[in-house]
């Protein structure tokens, strides 16, 4: 089934409900949202876009994002959302790799892109787009569960990004897991887009469309902590996805302003490691509003979830241990841990493997990567973790980040967690440095102000002696990619000279 059916149904069931909001302003109810998306679809077909063709979106978060996304689907085409923070040259590379025939752009992004790519652009703030939204509505073009809906380019912490083929069937499965495993959704909710819609936040739009909820796009088009607090207070109950670094920033801003996050119902966090010190502080300040998810583009947002109760229920005897996990498998997948000789029992670390309806059929035109990543329909995530007897999954690190020192595996995350409990450490990233004696040795890059000897003593209180850093390097900030993920590859490059 074409996911755009959910919009057509919402237009019938919830036609007069407010659907799209830009800051304070309601810009469309569900009838208008559907009518505009269906008109865009008709215009795309008139341009020669056929089912399966790719149409890109290089836009900041805005209500038009959803009009374009659903318009592309109604026409039976596949969307290629591109992170608005990418450089025009990187966006141009994605346009070329995906074979996109058109790209919808926010005004500020289009100018640079025009110099980098010849792909036909439509500016969503211009008269051409306005005209496109006024035409006759196209009925939803039939699509099957195997058909491509979204080409999702990975954040590419190493090398060129890869295009993950996300099908309509995957989106359906992942979306239906949300109310079951993450958080129930009702028509009175507002989905607030604080994180890029080209990534996980945008994937959460679908279930909110299905339920006839409001879609609240901050006027800034990005993440401003104060704005999120204001909008939530005005238009709550709001739910939103945030990367861990955003949760940190929201907590800092809310504390500084003495605001407790009125109107925020749920913050779903994930996409990178959430350090325990940060989530403890966030829950203490905002209350039990947090749910964690673990996913990757290859199984979007849908591998595991750590429930609100798991995050907040301090009375549970295993609360602390579970807080450090990413929860249990979501309903549509099986999760297993693999070693060189097959599946591993509870407690043993190995590669996290996932199988089920939200798992990708493969990367876009990349058979070598498919052969490495998909085995017997199991997705090899490249993440190392352990499962406990109750099915709670704890992530250690990406396999390529594990440090092997003197033949023993050291998981940087464990060292980072230990260092972060020191008051002088604001942020930290631990990597392996080549060592003639040990193979690799542990080095900590620290943002903060602390005496290395004190950090050493602090580590010795918490982790095994051999795991503690041999060296501390102090930086103003850690190198991060456009999704806020720390670029360990950049840190390791410092050892190359
Ligand atoms: P991406 O495909 O860009 O979304 O990146 C996915 C990767 O982010 C995963 O393979 C993990 O390494 C990491 N990741 C996602 N969710 C979490 C989480 N909840 N905790 C720790 N790491 C995560």
User: Taking the mean position of all CA atoms in its chain, how far away is CA 136?
Assistant: 35
Buried b or exposed e, range 180-217, using 16+ CB within 10 angstroms: ebbbebeeebbbbbbbbbbbbbbbbbbbbbbbbbbbbb
| Separation of CA 139 and ligand 1 centre (Å) | 37
- Assess whether pLDDT exceeds 70 at residue 79: yes
296: Cβ below 6 Å to ligand 1?
yes
Instruction: State in Å: Cα 271 to ligand 1 middle.
Output: 4
Find, among 293, 275, 247, the residue nearest to 415 by Cα: 275
Give the span between the Cα atoms of 118 and 303, in whole angstroms. Answer: 38
Tokens read off for 458: 């602090």
Confidence at residue 485, expressed as pLDDT on a 0 to 100 scale:
80
* Residue-averaged pLDDT of the chain: 94
Q: Look at the block and give the residue holding tokens 């579970």.
A: 322
Whether ligand 1 lies within 6 angstroms of the CB of 121 is answered as no
d(CA 209, CA 187): 9
d(CA 112, CA 331): 43
Cα(444)–Cα(432) distance, integer angstroms: 9
**Span from the CA of 411 to the centroid of ligand 1 (angstroms):** 16
The finding on whether 155 has its CB within 6 A of some atom of ligand 1 is yes
Q: Given the CA of residue 292, which atom of ligand 1 is nearest to it?
A: 19
Mutate to test the pocket of ligand 1, among 83, 271, 395, 482 (most ligand atoms within 8 A of CB): 271
pTM of the model: 0.88
Question: Whose C-alpha lies nearest to ligand 1, atom 11?
Answer: 272
Position in ligand 1 atom list of the atom nearest CA 157? 3
Q: Mean pLDDT across the stretch 93-97?
A: 96
Mean pLDDT on 381-392: 95
Choose which residue among 201, 383, 489 to substitute to test ligand 1 binding: the one with the highest number of ligand atoms within 8 A of its C-beta. 383
Which of 155, 157, 395 to mutate for ligand 1's pocket (most ligand atoms within 8 Å of CB)?
395
pLDDT, one tens digit per residue, over 169-200 is 999 999 999 999 999 999 999 999 999 999 99
Ligand 1 center to 43 CA (angstroms): 37
Distance of CA 123 from the midpoint of ligand 1 (Å): 32
* Predicted pLDDT of residue 379: 97
Q: What does the alpha-carbon distance between residue 216 and residue 206 come to, in Å, rounded to a whole number?
A: 14
Q: Give the three-class secondary structure for 219.
A: coil
- Residue 393 parent element (H or E): strand 393-398
Q: Classify residue 361 as exposed, middle or buried by CB count within 10 Å of its CB (0-12, 13-18, 19+).
A: middle
Residue 123: phi and psi, rounded to 5, are: -85, 120
Tell me, in angstroms, the distance from the centre of ligand 1 to residue 395's CA: 9
Ligand 1 proximity of 271 Cβ (cutoff 6 Å): yes
What's the pLDDT score for residue 81?
Answer: 98
Rounded distance from Cα 297 to ligand 1 centre (Å): 9
On the question of pLDDT at 159 being above 70, the answer is no
Task: For strands 18-22 and 25-29, give the pairing.
Answer: antiparallel
What sections of 146-292 are H helices per DSSP?
168-177, 200-203, 205-210, 225-235, 244-257, 276-286
Q: Using CA atoms in the order 96, 98, 101, 104, what is the torsion angle rounded to 10 degrees?
A: -90
Q: Is the CB of 276 under 6 A from ligand 1?
A: no
Q: Is 156 in the pocket of ligand 1 (CB under 6 A)?
A: no
Output the CA 101–ligand 1 centroid distance in Å.
Answer: 30
Asked whether 292 lines ligand 1 (CB < 6 A), one says yes
**How many A from CA of 6 to the centre of ligand 1?**
28
Name the residue of 170, 296, 335 to mutate for ligand 1: max ligand atoms within 8 A of Cβ.
Answer: 296
Please say if the pLDDT value at position 328 is more than 60.
yes
Tens digits of per-residue pLDDT, 390-400?
999 999 877 78
- What CA–CA distance (Å, rounded) separates 6 from 69? 13
Determine which residue's CA is closest to atom 21 belonging to ligand 1. Answer: 273
Kindly give the number of the ligand 1 atom that is closest to the alpha carbon of 297.
2
- 71 SS3 class: helix
Ordered by where they begin, the domains of the chain are 5-387 (3.40.50.12780), 402-493 (3.30.300.30)
* Cβ–ligand 1 contact at 154 (below 6 Å): yes
Is 198 near ligand 1, meaning CB less than 6 Å away? no
pLDDT number for residue 339: 87
Share of the chain above pLDDT 90, in %: 80
pLDDT digits (tens, 9 = 90+) for 431-472: 999 888 888 899 999 999 999 999 999 998 888 888 999 999
């Amino acid at each position: 089934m074409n996911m755009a059916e959910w919009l057509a149904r919402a237009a019938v069931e919830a036609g007069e409900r407010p659907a799209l909001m830009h800051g304070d302003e309601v810009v469309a109810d569900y009838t208008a949202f559907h009518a505009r998306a269906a008109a865009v679809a008709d215009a795309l077909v008139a341009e020669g876009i056929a089912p399966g063709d790719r149409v890109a979106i290089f836009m900041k978060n805005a209500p038009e994002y959803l009009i374009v996304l659903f318009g592309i689907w109604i026409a039976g085409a596949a969307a290629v959302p591109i992170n608005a923070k990418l450089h025009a040259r990187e966006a141009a590379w994605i346009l070329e790799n995906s074979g996109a025939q058109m790209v919808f752009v926010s005004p500020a992004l289009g100018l640079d892109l025009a110099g980098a790519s010849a792909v036909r652009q439509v500016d969503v703030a211009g008269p051409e787009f306005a005209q496109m939204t006024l035409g006759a509505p196209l009925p939803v073009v039939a699509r099957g569960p195997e058909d491509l809906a979204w080409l999702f380019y990975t954040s590419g912490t190493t090398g060129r990004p890869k295009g993950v083929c996300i099908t309509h069937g995957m989106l359906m499965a992942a979306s239906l897991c949300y109310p079951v495993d993450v958080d129930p959704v009702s028509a009175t909710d507002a989905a607030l887009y604080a994180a890029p819609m080209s990534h996980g936040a945008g994937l959460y739009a679908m279930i909110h469309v299905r339920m006839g909820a409001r879609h609240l796009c901050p006027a800034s088009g990005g993440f401003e902590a104060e704005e999120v607090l204001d909008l939530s207070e005005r238009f709550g109950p709001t739910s939103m996805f945030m990367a861990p670094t955003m949760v940190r920033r929201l907590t800092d801003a809310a504390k500084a302003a003495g605001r407790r996050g009125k109107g925020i119902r749920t913050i779903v966090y994930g996409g990178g490691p959430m350090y325990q010190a940060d989530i403890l502080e966030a829950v203490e300040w905002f209350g039990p509003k947090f749910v964690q998810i673990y996913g990757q583009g290859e199984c979007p947002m849908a591998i595991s979830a750590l429930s609100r109760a798991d995050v907040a229920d301090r009375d549970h005897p295993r609360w602390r241990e579970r807080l450090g996990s990413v929860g249990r498998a979501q309903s549509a997948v099986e999760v297993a841990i693999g070693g060189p000789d097959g599946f591993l029992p509870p407690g043993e670390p190995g590669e996290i493997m996932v199988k089920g309806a939200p798992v990708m059929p493969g990367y876009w035109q990349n058979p070598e990567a498919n052969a490495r990543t998909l085995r017997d329909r199991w997705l090899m995530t490249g993440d190392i973790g352990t499962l406990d007897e109750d099915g709670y999954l704890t992530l250690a690190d990406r396999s390529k980040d594990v440090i092997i020192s003197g033949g023993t595996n050291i998981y940087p995350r464990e060292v980072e967690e230990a260092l972060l409990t020191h008051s002088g450490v604001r942020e930290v990233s631990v990597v392996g440095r080549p060592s003639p004696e040990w193979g690799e040795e542990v080095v900590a890059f620290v943002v903060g102000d602390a005496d290395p000897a004190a950090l050493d003593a602090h580590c010795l209180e918490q982790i095994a002696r051999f795991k503690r850093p041999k060296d501390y390097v102090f930086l103003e900030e850690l190198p991060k990619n456009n999704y806020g993920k720390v670029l360990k590859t950049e840190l390791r490059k410092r050892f190359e000279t």
